[in-house]
């Protein structure tokens, strides 16, 4: 599960896995696109949402490891 509420910014291009064509796109949409290019058989769930103390348990309830 990928959860992020930021958008791809030009300052991300030198240190994160995004393309210029993805500038302005929500990171939760852009990163799965990159990962599917690497592995088209990947199963990836993502949400464009801010992780807060109020929603963290709900977001990651089904996942034993959170990084």
Q: What is the pLDDT along the chain (67 residues), one digit of tens a residue?
A: 999 999 999 999 999 999 999 999 999 999 999 999 999 999 999 999 999 999 999 999 998 877 7
How many Cβ atoms are within 10 Å of 19's Cβ, its own excluded? 13
Q: Is residue 2 situated within a structural domain?
A: yes
Rounded Cα distance between 12 and 19, Å, is 9
- Dihedral sign for Cα 37, 65, 25, 12, please: negative
Q: Is residue 66 situated within a structural domain?
A: no
Q: Is residue 35 situated within a structural domain?
A: yes
Domain hosting 21: range is 1-59
Q: Is residue 11 situated within a structural domain?
A: yes
- Counting the structural domains of the chain, the total is 1
Q: Is residue 65 situated within a structural domain?
A: no
Q: Nearest 5 degrees, angle CA 46-CA 41-CA 25?
A: 35
Q: Is residue 46 situated within a structural domain?
A: yes
Q: Is residue 20 situated within a structural domain?
A: yes
- Give the largest CA-CA distance in the chain: 34
- Tokens representing 24 are 């302005």
């Amino acid at each position: 599960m990928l959860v992020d509420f930021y958008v791809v910014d030009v300052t991300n291009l030198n240190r994160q896995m995004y393309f210029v064509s993805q500038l302005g796109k929500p990171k939760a949409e852009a990163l799965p696109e990159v990962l599917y290019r690497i592995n088209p058989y990947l199963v990836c769930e993502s949400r464009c949402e801010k992780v807060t103390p109020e929603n963290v348990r709900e977001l990651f309830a089904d996942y034993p490891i959170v990084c």
